Structure 1
Amino acid sequence: MAKRVKGVVQINDLPDSVLIHIMSFLSTKVAARTSILSTRWRNLFTLVPNLNFDLDEECPFWGWRRSSYRAPIKRFRCFVDGVLFFHDMENVDKFRLKFCRKRSESVDSISACRWISGALKRGVKHLDLNISLDKFTLPDALFTCRTLTLHLRSVKFFDDNSVKSLFSSCSSLEDVVIEKCSMKKVRSFSFSHPFLKRLSVIHSCDNFNCWLMIDTPHLSNFKLIDHVVAGYSLKNLESIVSVIKILLEDEDLRADATRHATSVFREIYLARSLVMSAYSLELLLSCEPLPDFPTLVELEIPYNKAKQLNSRDKGLETLLPLLPELQNLAFRQDVLNSLPEEVPCLLFKVKAIEISNFVYDQDCIRKAKYILENGRALEKLTIRTSICLYETKLKISKVLFAYPKKSKQCSILIVAIVLLL
């Protein structure tokens, strides 16, 4: 028997709760292998709250032969059945099931449905399904689960009824993500839910003739990253108070896109935090009249060199007077086309400003000087430059650090990718 080293804690000395927490970061197959270590370890893996079953990881596609693919599938089915049968946890935090590569024979839909139902009976909170089956019906228990977050990725909706039947059945959902789904045959993607709090629609609007219709009275967090569709109908969004990301994407500003997308901004006027692309900003500035954002505290227009504002007579400075409570502002230097005239939020409210895509030229330096000279409440100014030489960073630092600041408590941070020559 090996001797214990004084002062050193061995893994067997740790309490069961710590060992179970460590195993929760392992795949279920690896966690199950610990049962052979000793009598104490025999049943510990059955208490792990995270279950992760991945057939493609266990049996890579390139390693399969037609004469032997039935055995790995049979072993996989027996393993999942055994784990769920012996699992002692009443509550499962995460359940992941993956077998997405199509083969002539794969896991059958009856087994998949049985495993998902087993996770639902244990109160699963996060269900991650990445499966490829020609015909598969989700278990009825999924639609009444009160602990579930629904994340749909690469799901194909066949028609308007398929959308309606799915979401109308999930009566207790609070968190939904729709990512890279296909809506080519959907005319109206209608989402009406009384209890939903968080909704994300990401790269799923592949049908420009589709309408996006949302009616969610308790929605607090809304993320939309997609192309502009035929139209929007957004109702009962008065509860939105947290982060909202509106990153609409398109190649040009079409008249119908401008007309339809502006309805998005009119419905989120009570937002406290807003992230949007430069293209979204131009759509917003095309609204007649421009909407007010009386409660907006944070505004971010992330850097994307591929997108440029088409309209040079309007910029961020047009929007700033409509943001009386703004405190945190992050923007690309090129979306501020001209220096604003005595904007109250910049003078008295804004505490943190971040400027990206900053270069050492007269226009950028002038914008930074204006902010330093007028920001009375400013506490931090962050400058993010693109790739530059070390000497260029020194020039920017020398100019800005020496310039007088209206706010005595303001600090300046310059972040750059530096090329040393």
Structure 2
Amino acid sequence: MAKKKICNKGLISDLPDHCLCHVLSFLSTKDAIRTSVLSKRWRSLWQLVLGLDLDSRDLGLGFSSSRFSNIDEFVKLVDKFFNLHIESWIHKLRLHIRTFGSVDYTSYLTKWIDAATTRRIQHIDLHCELLFKVAVKVPLSLYTSKTLVHLRLVRVNLVSADFVSLPCLKTLHLEMVRYTDETTLEKLISCSPVLEDLTIIKYTEDNGKVIQVRSQTLKRLDIDQWYDRQYGIVIDAPLLQFLRIIAYEIKNIKIINIGLTAKVDIDANVLSILDPNDLTIRSMIRDFLIGISRVRCLVTSYATTKDIFLYMKLEPLPQFCNLSELSVICSISNLEMLLNLLKSCPKLESLRLKLVDYEKGKKAEVMSSTVPPCLVSSLKFVKLLFGYGCGTKLKVAKYFLENSTILEKLTLKNDYKEENVKHIRQTLHEIPRCSSTCKVVLYS
């Protein structure tokens, strides 16, 4: 049989310029510049890429191994990019500006963003990491881009604007951003009619008192509020599919409307740090629980679970009639409260439970004799995880095995490698099961 001829065709360098530029567009500008040493063909190709992805620590114009030596060198390269594409559309602008002393970059950013927004820019990513807390302001042209699809801003100042219009913006990421008043953020959200993905990481004291998220198109919302009792969150997003909130010691979380099939991940505490006897606070917690009671999937942290349990001692929980998946962290001393929570979840199909022993010295409560309805009619999957110090794994597993009528699988994580795994398996095997088809999986 004759050997096949080796063909030299199909090399990447044989592709036309526009294809090679498309390949280079997936690289940072630093790496795209490095390809210029491959051959004469590649020497200037990086300059044709319709995007700039540059870190101020990247290589200088001389392609040496050193970083930019001063602000002028960095600015020169960015200016050169815009001069090369003075009549071209620009797809992407990503600038990570690290400190050059106490230089204010506002004038540079204004020039570059003004130029980008007139050239049909779709992606803007600005990260200013400066010393001396220099206030870098973004220009007003950013608020009226007709083509911008993705906007990420980190450590910049948003100036107030009377008019905001971002008709194509789908993704907005604001991290440690300062703005002069609450309406700036509200306008960015409400004046983006196709916005789908919003992330807000907020920590500065001079920002507004309330995060107002009102959108008829938003599908994903991620809020990291940090710690501050003077702040609040209001959410009105009927199409929301995913909501994640991290907000310790927050003043208020008000959920007016979210999607019925939404997944909600809450790590927050309100009631445990405020006066539970205050009827206003109690009403606020009630409204919050009602707001999340319609969701399909709920994930709660230890702090949130404590708040829910504390509320349950004061007033009855609303019914979580649509909830099919629940992931919860609670103390081993609150097993009875957990079962009371499950009684409010009549259609629960999957439970992921992590038991911890943060409240040292408190013993696990006796499991309730009244079985939650979901164990009889809907619960199919249970996953049990135990933190260090929890010695009740078999007791909890036994409860679910003996009382879950249609359970299909119980997964038990064993964190005690020194324990006799064979003995645990034998004990689990000997527990009578209410569901004859249930499988038990033990893993370390």
TM-score of the two chains, using structure 2 as the length reference? 0.73
Give the conservation status (yes or no) of the 8 Å contact 2:245–2:265: yes
**Matches of 2:431 and 2:88, distance apart in 1:** 63
The count of residues paired between Structure 1 and Structure 2 equals 395
**Matches of 2:326 and 2:122, distance apart in 1:** 32
Out of 152, 177, 184, the position equivalent to 2:174 is 152
Give the conservation status (yes or no) of the 8 Å contact 1:240–1:268: no
What is the match of residue 381 of structure 1?
410
What is the match of residue 54 of structure 1?
55
What is the match of residue 31 of structure 1?
32
**Matches of 1:258 and 1:269, distance apart in 2:** 16
What is the match of residue 290 of structure 1?
317
Q: Which has the higher mean CA deviation after the structures are superposed, 191-200 or 334-343?
A: 334-343
**Matches of 1:46 and 1:410, distance apart in 2:** 62
Q: How far is 1:241 from its partner?
A: 1.9
Q: How far is 1:117 from its partner?
A: 4.7
Give the conservation status (yes or no) of the 8 Å contact 2:96–2:127: yes
2:131 is the counterpart of 1:130: no
Q: Deviations over 1:29-77 (max 9, x none)?
A: 1113213423554565467687421114558xxxxxxxx97x5322322
Q: Deviations over 1:224-277 (max 9, x none)?
A: 111132234332x14242221111147944325655344222112221111111
**Matches of 2:413 and 2:14, distance apart in 1:** 46
What is the match of residue 12 of structure 1?
12
**Matches of 1:372 and 1:49, distance apart in 2:** 60
What is the match of residue 289 of structure 2?
265
Q: How far is 1:200 from its partner?
A: 1.7
What is the match of residue 64 of structure 1?
none
2:328 is the counterpart of 1:301: yes
Q: Name the CA shift for 1:391/1:198 in 2 (closer, same or farther; >3 Å).
A: closer
Q: Name the CA shift for 1:124/1:222 in 2 (closer, same or farther; >3 Å).
A: farther
Give the conservation status (yes or no) of the 8 Å contact 1:187–1:210: yes
**Matches of 2:178 and 2:319, distance apart in 1:** 38
Q: How far is 1:318 from its partner?
A: 0.8
What is the match of residue 241 of structure 1?
261
**Matches of 2:407 and 2:73, distance apart in 1:** 63
2:225 is the counterpart of 1:203: yes
2:213 is the counterpart of 1:191: yes
Instruction: Name the % identity.
Output: 26
**Matches of 1:180 and 1:32, distance apart in 2:** 35
Quick one: which amino acid aligns to residue 343 of structure 1? P
Q: How far is 1:371 from its partner?
A: 1.8
Give the conservation status (yes or no) of the 8 Å contact 1:242–1:272: yes
**Matches of 1:262 and 1:382, distance apart in 2:** 33
2:243 is the counterpart of 1:222: yes
Q: How far is 1:279 from its partner?
A: 2.2
Q: Name the CA shift for 1:147/1:137 in 2 (closer, same or farther; >3 Å).
A: closer
Which residues of structure 1 form unaligned runs of 5+?
60-67, 417-421
- Secondary structure class of the residue paired with 2:135: coil
What is the match of residue 97 of structure 2?
99
2:386 is the counterpart of 1:357: yes
Q: Which has the higher mean CA deviation after the structures are superposed, 78-87 or 41-50?
A: 41-50
Q: How far is 1:153 from its partner?
A: 0.8
Q: Which has the higher mean CA deviation after the structures are superposed, 241-250 or 117-126?
A: 117-126
2:355 is the counterpart of 1:328: no
Quick one: which amino acid aligns to residue 421 of structure 2? K
Q: Name the CA shift for 1:218/1:360 in 2 (closer, same or farther; >3 Å).
A: closer
- Secondary structure class of the residue paired with 2:352: strand
- Secondary structure class of the residue paired with 1:218: coil
- Secondary structure class of the residue paired with 1:96: strand
Out of 57, 62, 76, the position equivalent to 2:74 is 76
Q: Name the CA shift for 1:358/1:191 in 2 (closer, same or farther; >3 Å).
A: closer
Q: Which has the higher mean CA deviation after the structures are superposed, 255-264 or 145-154?
A: 255-264
- Secondary structure class of the residue paired with 1:77: helix
Q: Deviations over 1:108-153 (max 9, x none)?
A: 3233234345555666665432115524133233553313411111
Q: How far is 1:408 from its partner?
A: 4.5
2:143 is the counterpart of 1:140: yes
> What are the equivalent positions in structure 2 for 1:159-170 lying under 5 Å apart?
159-170=181-192
**Matches of 1:169 and 1:324, distance apart in 2:** 40
**Matches of 1:24 and 1:415, distance apart in 2:** 45
**Matches of 1:272 and 1:127, distance apart in 2:** 34
- Secondary structure class of the residue paired with 1:203: strand
**Matches of 2:102 and 2:214, distance apart in 1:** 39
Q: Which has the higher mean CA deviation after the structures are superposed, 123-132 or 30-39?
A: 123-132
Out of 415, 418, 425, the position equivalent to 1:397 is 425
Q: Name the CA shift for 1:25/1:135 in 2 (closer, same or farther; >3 Å).
A: closer
Give the conservation status (yes or no) of the 8 Å contact 1:47–1:89: no
Q: Name the CA shift for 1:185/1:91 in 2 (closer, same or farther; >3 Å).
A: closer
Which residues of structure 2 form unaligned runs of 5+?
61-66, 146-163, 358-363
- Secondary structure class of the residue paired with 2:137: coil
Give the conservation status (yes or no) of the 8 Å contact 2:109–2:138: no
Give the conservation status (yes or no) of the 8 Å contact 1:315–1:337: no
2:442 is the counterpart of 1:414: yes
2:275 is the counterpart of 1:255: yes
Q: Deviations over 1:177-202 (max 9, x none)?
A: 11143245533333333333322211
**Matches of 1:411 and 1:90, distance apart in 2:** 59
